[in-house]
Amino acid sequence: MFDSLSDRLTSVLQDLRGKGRLSETDIDTTCREIRIALLEADVALPVVRAFVKQVKDRAKGAEVSEALNPAQQVVKIVNEELVGILGGETRRVRFAKNPPTVIMLAGLQGSGKTTLAGKLARWLKNQGHTPMLAACDLQRPNAVNQLQIVGQRAGVEVFAPEPGNGVGDPVDVARRAVADAKGRQYDVLVVDTAGRLGVDEELMRQAADIRDAVTPDEVLFVLDAMVGQDAVNTAEAFRDGVGFSGVVLTKLDGDARGGAALSVREVTGQPILFASNGEGLDEFDVFHPDRMASRILGMGDVLSLIEQAESAFEAGQAEKAAQKMSEGEFTLEDFLEQMQAVRKMGPIANILGMLPGAANMKDQLGQVDEKHLDRIQAIIRGMTPAERADPKMINGSRRLRIANGSGVGVTDVNQLVDRFFDAKKMMTKMAGQFGL
């Protein structure tokens, strides 16, 4: 899901890199490309329009942050707007003051309601709740049985109509399930309801009747993220026909373009509470708009890094350092300053862990040695300002003095100075290559 959107957006934003200032034309071009990327991902037109307008206004309104370069600022704006259309804050389930909390599931047939009932039950159990499932899909042959199997796998009780009584009345089953849950002190009841292949009045009426009978604390509309543009119409039909307090996206593991997921919150005004990304009971989680947005932007947690950098670096500090690097004037004093600013952001392993691809390098991250960094800082602090500014003057006797003063061996000092010269050479070369 979102792969091609993610690729498109990332490359649009990458094109901005290395620009010192963004002109109006740069912003217009970027916004046009973002618009195309969103439309190609099947995001609903009104949502695309509002999104692009916001990004454009904000980018042109130059929310200038001295710690960020223009490209980073646009990334930040796009990210914040994405978080916004996905709902902003994470919305948690609202539990009733007087149990049982009733959670009703509604949605088309095949959207993943029954599977979700099992996932929710498992999740609720893990949260310390005592959930029960109610089988109120009496339409689809085998639906009750399927829920019972799901319940068994999740290790939760299922309230089902007695077999052999004909089709039965789902409203009645729902009502009795609530009474049973209350009587036996289950604290959450998840009500599975019937879906149809398409939206129809009969289906809506039945769902509305169940809703009236059990007055649910949450009605969750279950939306298969694989369906394209049609998802928005279905969501609107359910909003008008039954009403819902939240959305669950299913099949996010599929290869659909993701437009439905990106549109549903804006179109219906209701938040996404959970996301399902597989058939397994555990392939399910609370939906976090911020995490989803950074996943779409393909940037790991780079954005939280940007935010932390904004607060850790003094205005203009990073640019000054970059400028000095490119001019070959970077000194050990600058190095110390940068290192202190970076370390203000938290342990290095955590900072590195936020970079894209970091999930694949957990082992190496565990080995980042903070003590080694302490040692480097101690060595630089043991130097005089003149030595920091011009490490070439650090001869043999100075190295010995620095080593003694900072409690390390002479080899440590040698290593640091040598590495500094190597790094400086490389920075100058890189700066030349990238035209910085």
Can you name the residues that pair with 274 across neighbouring β-strands?
Answer: 248, 286
Distance CA 368, CA 376 (A): 14
Least distance to ligand GDP, CB of residue 276, Å = 4
- What is the SS3 assignment for 387? helix
Residue 16 labelled as part of a binding site: no
Looking at beta carbons only, is 84 or 241 nearer to ligand GDP? 241
Looking at beta carbons only, is 227 or 427 nearer to ligand GDP? 227
- For residue 421, count other CB atoms closer than 10 A to its CB: 12
Looking at beta carbons only, is 110 or 241 nearer to ligand GDP? 110
Q: 95 to 124, contacts with ligand GDP by CB under 6 A?
A: 107, 109-115
Residue 105 labelled as part of a binding site: no
CB contact at 8 A, 103 and 188:
yes
Nearest to 137 by CA among 111, 166, 161: 161
Asked if 193 is part of the footprint of ligand GDP (rule: CB under 6 A), the reply reads: no
Residue 193 labelled as part of a binding site: yes
Residue 196 labelled as part of a binding site: yes
Residue 111 labelled as part of a binding site: yes
DSSP 134: E
Distance CA 100, CA 133 (A): 12
Q: How far is CA 319 from CA 68, 117, 302, 315, 421, in A?
A: 9, 52, 18, 9, 21
Binding mask 267-296 for ligand GDP (x = CB under 6 A): ---------xxxx-----------------
Looking at beta carbons only, is 114 or 263 nearer to ligand GDP? 114
Residue 192 labelled as part of a binding site: yes
Looking at beta carbons only, is 251 or 424 nearer to ligand GDP? 251
- Helical spans, DSSP H, in 282-327: 289-296, 302-312, 317-326
CB contact at 8 A, 259 and 252:
no
Looking at beta carbons only, is 68 or 106 nearer to ligand GDP? 106
Residue 384 labelled as part of a binding site: no
Residue 195 labelled as part of a binding site: yes
Residue 221 dihedral angles phi and psi, to the nearest 5°: -90, 120
Q: 224 to 253, contacts with ligand GDP by CB under 6 A?
A: 250-251, 253
Measure CA 305 to chain center: 14
Q: 356 to 415, contacts with ligand GDP by CB under 6 A?
A: none
**Residue 69 corresponds to which tokens in the numbers above?**
């370069």
Residues of the shown chain interacting with ligand GDP in the complex, contacts defined by CB under 6 A: 107, 109-115, 195, 250-251, 253-254, 276-279
Q: From the annotation, which residues make up the binding site?
A: 107-114, 192-196, 250-253
Q: From the annotation, which residues make up the binding site for GTP?
A: 107-114, 192-196, 250-253
